[in-house]
Amino acid sequence: MLKAILAATASTVLFAPALTDGLRHSPEADTTHTITVEEATAWSLETMELAMDGAVVQQSVPDVSGRSERRAVVEDELRSVAEGHVTAFARTFSELASASAFTADVGARSLEFATACKSELQDLTVAFTREDEDEPWAARFDEDESGDEAWLEGLDGAFDLAVFLPDGEVEVDESWEVEAAPAAAFLRAFGDLPFLPAEATQGSLMSVPTAIVIATALANVGACSGDFDGECKVTLTELGDEEATMAFELEVESELDSSERFALFVAEIVSDGSSVGKTLEFELSVEGEGELVWDLANGRAKSLSFTGELTILTHIAWDESMLEQTYDMEGDFELAGETEFTVTFER
């Protein structure tokens, strides 16, 4: 019988106290933690419908496939700890990168599209504070730092993998249910990170109607606001003297709205202003399996890995100007593929 070792030593990766009144790992002020999150997704276009001024102009499905990648590295400096809870820390966004590339065979034409994205938060430090563990984190740029306050609105100060842990005694091969929404938070680690194109193929949305939708949507899946709903089951698979290994099954859905970022994205891609992005909404579903390794001695996560099947239903709307006329364009697309996440922690 595991006498609540997991629960008793549990903290969040950085912030929370133990889940029981027994032994606990208290976060230490003046320590720095490095978190690295990597995402890779391979996908293909399953269905599509494109309309111009309300009339359907394309329903055939071109051969479209591609891959997107995202990497985020942050350094969290714990500045203040009170009664086992961190009340202030500074997060430096050391590395933020996102890229998509794919090909589309449309009739006799073969289109290629690639974009490398950057974030305005790169190399900046954001200070997070709160007085009570139930309060949301307040974010501001750190001393001697400056930037657009809008970049701070969607950031999430917490990164809590202790949600995977049991509430009480468990044995090897025993399973338990956890809340899906906080468990799935690693899919959008650190919140709504502002990405915009650093380099991209230039063109109008009419010349690459499918490409721009896919690139924009997938470049921001990990960065858009939205709540997850679903199920998560965790199983203790290994228990050693220094670490425990847990397997988990995750099935979640989320409705995301990236319209504001889509408009900015299109403005960067289409330099002559002939295409104006208006709406980008999509429904995301992910189902897969993962593994969490927990450091028993220090009561914190060591690593997380996840592989799952991904489906994205996308709705897009934009204005397209051609031959001195402006047309109201709309499209609906279904993408399907596989996604992989890895998260590592260092202190």
3-state secondary structure of 7: helix
Residue listed under structure tokens 């933020």: 96
Looking at per-residue confidence, does 198 or 191 come out higher?
A: 191
For residue 240, give the nearest of 302, 294, 303, 169 by alpha carbon.
294
Q: Give yes or no for a contact between 225 and 192, defined as CB atoms under 8 angstroms apart.
A: yes
Per-residue model confidence (pLDDT) at position 7: 42
Q: What is the mean pLDDT of the chain?
A: 79
Amino acid at 188: R
Tell me what the mean pLDDT of segment 196-223 comes to. Answer: 50
Q: What is the pLDDT of residue 25?
A: 41
Name the percent of the chain lying above pLDDT 70.
82
Question: pLDDT higher for 339 or 136?
Answer: 339
pLDDT, residue 203, reads 47
Whether the pLDDT of residue 20 is over 70: the answer is no
Q: What is the pLDDT of residue 226?
A: 62
Q: How confident is the model over 254-300, as pLDDT tens digits?
A: 887 878 777 877 777 777 778 888 888 888 899 999 999 998 877 78
pLDDT for 53-102, tens place per residue?
999 987 777 788 888 888 999 999 989 888 767 889 999 999 998 888 77
**C-beta separation of 6 from 236 below 8 A:** yes
φ, ψ (nearest 5 deg) of residue 2: -85, 110
Confidence tier at 168 by pLDDT (50, 70, 90): confident
| Whole-Å CA distances, 72 to 35, 129, 138, 214, 243 | 8, 22, 21, 21, 25
pLDDT, mean of residues 203-221: 47
Tell me the mean pLDDT in the region 153-162: 78
With beta carbons less than 8 A apart as the criterion, state whether 66 and 339 touch: no
pTM of the predicted protein model: 0.81
More confident residue, 61 or 1: 61
pLDDT digits (tens, 9 = 90+) for 107-124: 677 777 777 878 889 999
